A and B are shown apart, each in its own frame.
Chain A
Amino acid sequence: MPSYYPYTMSFQAESTIYQTEVRCHVNENDFNYSTNPSCVATASLGSLNANVTGSDFTPFATTIGLYNAQNELLAVGKFGTPYPIPKNTDVTFVIKWDS
C-alpha cells in the first residue's frame, strides 16, 4: 500500500443562495409626473415650468425603492443610466438580488 507522501485535499463545497426577483410594473400614463424641483415654477406655487408641460415631456426614472407596508425603505435599485418612462406603453422593471 502507498507509503507516506504529501498530498493535496480538494473538493467542491456546496451552498444554497436565494435569488429574489421583484417585478415593478408601470402602466401606461403612470409615473409621468415629476416633482423634481427643477420642474417646478418659482412664480406660482404648484405650477410647472413650461418646458415640462409639453406633450413630449417624459420623466426619467433613476431609482427604484422597495418599501414595506409601513413605508420604510427596504431596498434601493439604481439604473445605470436614467430610463425614460414611456407615455403610452407599459413597462416592467425587474429587480434581482441574491441572499
Chain B
Amino acid sequence: MGRSTNTLKASDVTVTPIKTKYSQSFYIGDLPGANINYYVGQNGSLSKDGSYGPGFLTYRSALQLYYVSWVSGSQLGTGSSWDNSLQSTAASGTFDDDYRYFPTGSSDQIIVYSIPREVYGEQISRGTFRMQSVDAGSHYNVIDDGNGNLIDTVNANAHVGNILYAQGMVIVTNPSYLTSFVTSVDTTVTFRLVSNAFEYIQAYAVSLDSLSPPYTQLITNGSSLFPNLNITGSTQILCSYYGLYRIGTVFQSTYQPNYNTGLYGCDVSMSDSSGNQSHYLLMQGSTTYNSSNITSPTVAGASWGSNATSPSAINYTVIPSNVPISSSNTYLDIYSNGITTWAKGTISIVSSTGTPIFSIGYAAAAANNHNVFSSSYDSNAPYKLLASSIGGASSNPSMSVSIMDLSSSLAETYVIASGSSIILGNPINSHGWGKRTALPSYISIRLNSISTPSYADVFAFNTSAIQYLAYPPYPTSINLQCTSVNSSGVPTTNANKAIDFNKITIMPYTYDVVETMNIKVSGVTELVVQFQYAYRDAPFKYRDSAGVYHNGNFVAGNINF
C-alpha cells in the first residue's frame, strides 16, 4: 500500500469542548444499585468517652461543609476564604438566592443523598433535578430551582432543602419532609396477630431501601439486616424461600407460620438503630376458616399492638376460604415458587372415566377451578400438602385421602366422588420424598362411604412407590381404611366396621414377582388384590370372603405414577 505524507500546521488542528447532558433516573429501590446512598443525620452531642449517636457524623458533616455560615453561634466558616459551596451568585435575600436552612434543635434530623460522580459527571445540570412520588407526583414533586434550592411544587412550593450540583449532594433539611422519602430513625413498629387460624402471613416491608436485588434476604431474629427484629410468642416465622420481591411500590414477602400452632399471640417488632436507614414491617394475615377471625391490621389498633410511627398505608388482602384457584389467582404459585422443580409434588384426582377433577401442586394449581382453601409448600419445613373440600357433596358417595408428614399429627383430607381414582404424583418417588429429610410417615387413603361399590374403587398403588417407602430407615406402612364393608369385603355405607388395610407385608418389591395385598377384617381375609409389575392395563385378582377369585383390570389412565 502506497503512502504519501504531508505536514500539518498548528492551524490545521482545533479542539472544541462540548458540554453534554444525559438523563439519569432511578426508582427508589434502584438507588443503592447506582451507589446513590442516603444517610439520615441527627443532631446530638459527643459523650465523654467520645461515642455518639446514630447519624451524628452525617449531621455534623453537612453542617460544617454547607450550613455553618448560616447557623448562629457557629465558630467556623466565618473567614473570608471559607467556601460555603454557594450555588447561586445572587445577593442574599434576592429571588435567586441560595437559601440555606439547617435544623439545630435537639435530635433534629436531616437526610443527605450522596450521588457518585460516575453518575452525575461534572455536575448535576441545574434545573433538571427532580424527586417525584411514583403516583405521578401527587404526594410531592421536588425540583431544583437552578440556584441550589429544592422546592416542592405540589405543596405550596415548600423549601425542602438544598442541592449542590458540582458535589452531587442533595440535602433535605425541612423537618416536614424527613419521613417523605425515608422512614425516620429508630422507627419501631409492633404488631400483634391475634388469630390462631392463619394459614399464611404476608409481611410487607416498606422502605427496604438497603436491600439489594434479588431481594432474597431472610428476615429472622437479630439478622444483620434488621438487628432489632424480634419475633416472640410463636415458635417460628419462616420466610419463604421465595424471599422478598417487589410488587408495585412495596417489597413483599410471604411468611408461613408454623402449620400446627399458627401465629397466635405472635408479636413482631422491628427497628433499626443504625441511623443509616430505617424500616417498618407491615404484616397481614388471613384465615381459611372464618373471615370473622381476621383482625383488620390497623397498626395502632389494640389487636395489632402499637407502633411508634404509623406507616402511611397498609396493604391488606384477605384470601377467603372459597377463593377459586385460577390463572389470575397465584397464591399457590407464590407458595410453591420456593420449591425446586423436582420437589414440586402433585396430587391429582381423576374421575373413573379419566376426566381430571382436581390437581394440587405447583404446575396444576392455576389450571383447576375447584375450591381449595389451603395448599402450602415450604422448602424449609417438613413436606406437607394440604387440601380440602372439593367435590363430594354430603349426599354423594365420597372418599378421602390424607398425606401426612412426620411432624404432624393432623390430617387434612380430600373428599372426592365415588368411582374416582387418586393419583399420587411425583412426591412418591426418589426425586420427591426420597430426597427430603422429612418423609411421610404413612399414606392414608380412606373410603368414607361408597354406596355403589365396585372393585374399580380399589386403589392401585405403584409397587415401586411402596418400595421407596419400605426401605429403612423410613417408617413404612400404607393404611387403607374403609368405614364399612359388605359381606364380600366390598366397602359399603351400611356396616359400621372398620377395615385396616395395613397388611402389605411383602417388602421390598422385586420386579416380576406378583405382589399380593391382603385386606382383612378382624384377621379374616376379605379381599386379596394381586399386583403385577407393569400393572397398567394388566389384570389383577381379588378374592372375596368365600375364597372365590375374581379377575379385574386396572383402568389405564387412572394410574399415573
* Chain A residues with CB under 8 A of B119: 13
Asked whether B176 lies within 8 Å of A14 as measured between CB atoms, the reply is no
In the complex, what's the smallest C-beta–C-beta distance from B148 to chain A, in angstroms? Answer: 13
Q: Is B12 an interface residue (CB 8 A)?
A: yes
Cα(A50)–Cα(B183), bound, Å: 86
Give CA–CA (A14, B21) in the complex, Å: 5
- Give a binary string over A9-20; 1 marks a CB under 8 Å from any B CB, 0 the rest: 111111111111
Interface residues of A in 13-63 (CB under 8 A from B): 13-26, 30-31, 33-36, 39, 59, 62-63
* Cβ-based interface call for B80 (8 A): no
Given contacts A14-B122, A17-B20, A35-B3, contact A4 B128 (CB under 8 A): no
B523 within 8 A of A: no
Contact B22 A2 (CB under 8 A): no
Contact residues, A60-87 vs B (CB, 8 A):
62-63, 65-67
**8 A Cβ contacts from B1-52 to A:** 1-6, 8, 12-29, 31, 36
Does any Cβ of A come within 8 Å of B416's Cβ?
no
Q: Does B522 lie at the interface of the complex (its beta carbon under 8 Å from any beta carbon of A)?
A: no
A89 within 8 Å of B (CB atoms): no
Q: How many residues of A contact B (CB 8 A)?
A: 40
Query: Chain B, interface size: which category?
Result: 35 or more
Of the stretches B131-139, B283-291, B502-510, the one at the interface is B131-139
- Residues of chain B with a CB closer than 8 A to A66's CB: 8
B164 to chain A, nearest CB (A): 12
B134: which of A3, A7, A16, A59 is its contact (CB, 8 Å)?
Answer: A7
Q: CA–CA, A9 to B129, complex, Å? A: 8
List chain B residues, Cβ under 8 A from A7.
28, 131-134, 140, 181
Name the A residues within 8 Å of B16 (CB-CB). 18-21
B22/A13 in contact, CB under 8 A: yes
Residue of B nearest to A92 (CB): B12
When A4-B207, A8-B27 are in contact, do A15 and B121 touch as well, CB less than 8 Å?
yes
User: Would you list the 8 A-B pairs with minimal beta carbon distance, nearest first?
Assistant: A1-B176, A35-B2, A15-B121, A12-B128, A12-B125, A10-B25, A13-B121, A3-B312
14 A-B contacts (beta carbon < 8 Å)? A3-B180, A5-B140, A9-B130, A10-B132, A14-B120, A15-B19, A20-B13, A21-B16, A22-B8, A31-B4, A33-B4, A62-B1, A63-B1, A67-B5
